[in-house]
Amino acid sequence: MIVTLIVACEIAFWVLLAAGLALRYGARKPRLGAAVLLCEPVLELVLLAVTAVDLKNGAEPDWKHGLAAVYIGFTVGLGHSTIKWADARVAHRFAGGPPPVKPPKYGKARAVHEWKVAGRWTVAAATALALLQAAVWYVGGDGDVSSLRSWQRTMLLVIGINLVIAASYTVFPKRAPDPSA
């Protein structure tokens, strides 16, 4: 049931995103579109509540509960930027808005961009880590929490990879091509 709900939440995320943007730009109802977009967090609250109830009703914590925590974390950390990304593209394509801003390619500006991306991924993974830890504490010492711990290790790996990528752009900045060459 949890996996089905996660899939349903993911589909609903994209449906709400499309509906909100369609109302905002297609129907020229920006407030209604914004209201629909603000319904996105409700999906995560429903998923969190169902996961907690499932654990409370005696379900053994497994990879599905961990996946639910990871999904919620990634929505918290990356959901807003995903909506902004889609909004900029739809505004440009259908509402005469300015072209979407492309990330910088070189130097310090690129390093700053990569640190911002790493920050969003770190927020996502840290949120998942916190939810996973709450589940571990909730289950207590009596239950098998190895699958939850496995997800925690994966989230630490996600943080580490993103920090290494950002640091590499700081230590080894990509230089603009020489125009005289």
**Encoding tokens for residue 62?**
């497994």
All structural domains of the chain with their residue ranges: 2-171
In what helix (H) or strand (E) does residue 171 lie, and over which residues does it extend? Answer: helix 146-171
On average, the pLDDT of the chain sits at 90
**Encoding tokens for residue 23?**
């109302």
Instruction: Look at residue 139 in the predicted model and tell me its pLDDT.
Output: 79
Letter for the amino acid at 49?
A
pLDDT, greater one: 104 or 45:
104
pLDDT band at 147 (very low <50, low <70, confident <90, very high): confident
Per the CB < 8 A criterion, the answer to whether 163 and 125 are in contact is no
**How many C-alpha atoms does 79 have within 13 Å on its Cβ side?**
25
Task: Give the pLDDT confidence of 151-170 residue by residue, as tens digits.
Answer: 999 999 999 999 999 999 99
Does the pLDDT at position 181 exceed 70? no
Residues 152 and 133: their CA atoms lie apart, in Å, by 8
Minimum mean pLDDT range among 29-33, 118-122, 123-127, 139-143? 139-143
- Nearest 5 degrees, angle CA 1-CA 81-CA 126? 60
Q: What is the pTM of this model?
A: 0.85
Task: Give the pLDDT confidence of 129-145 residue by residue, as tens digits.
Answer: 999 999 888 877 777 78
Residues 155 and 136: their CA atoms lie apart, in Å, by 15
Does the pLDDT at position 104 exceed 70? yes
